[in-house]
Amino acid sequence: MTTAVNALPLISAGTWTIDPTHSTVGFSVRHLMVSKVRGEFTEFTGAIEIAEDGTPSVRAEIDVESINTKNEQRDGHIRSADFFDAEKFPKATFVSTSVDPDGDDYVVHGDFTLKGVTRPVDLKLEFNGVNPGMGHGPVAGFEATTVINRKDFGIDIEMPLETGGTVVGDKITITLEIEAGNPAAA
């Protein structure tokens, strides 16, 4: 359920489906204490429901098997029980619980489930507006970010370095670039 906040007044009521062709679900994590590894998930679905009063709610699902860090060996290890245990937990999900204005932007509060563990997460959301689209109905754009701790979701593998620190950092920055369409409004 979401709070009755007319958070996104420029978006018409209805279902806005996330377009995976024009959207990105990405992440970055500290590697060897000195740089970051970036990756993305190539398979995901989701929808933004806008109630008649403008109240939004969001549901999204990510296929964790679709991870791509541009290194096949690393991706295989991340899919294993050491990290995602993708065979047992093939999906990560996000379900919003409320949306609050934050200056010109918003905060989307919700429940994120990864590796069978659900925790509250706040997404800092920038609404990029609505465009009439290209003949298939209007499209809306959003950018959102959050930082999670992998250990909060049962990804607690330790890979210590001889010089101190770890191979993989605890903090994961998730970055979403979303385009959603509403063909019913065409």
Q: Domain 14-185 falls in which CATH fold?
A: Lipocalin (2.40.128)
21's CB contacts (< 8 A; 6+ apart) are none
How many contiguous H segments (helices) and E segments (strands) does the chain have? 1, 11
Domain ranges within the chain, ordered by starting residue: 14-185
What tens-digit pLDDT sequence spans the chain (186 residues)?
344 344 555 788 899 999 999 999 999 887 766 678 899 999 999 999 998 888 889 999 999 999 999 999 989 999 999 899 999 999 999 999 999 999 989 999 999 999 999 999 999 999 998 988 887 889 999 999 999 998 999 988 777 667 766 667 789 999 999 999 887 766
Q: Which of 147, 161, 174 is nearest to 32 (CA)?
A: 161
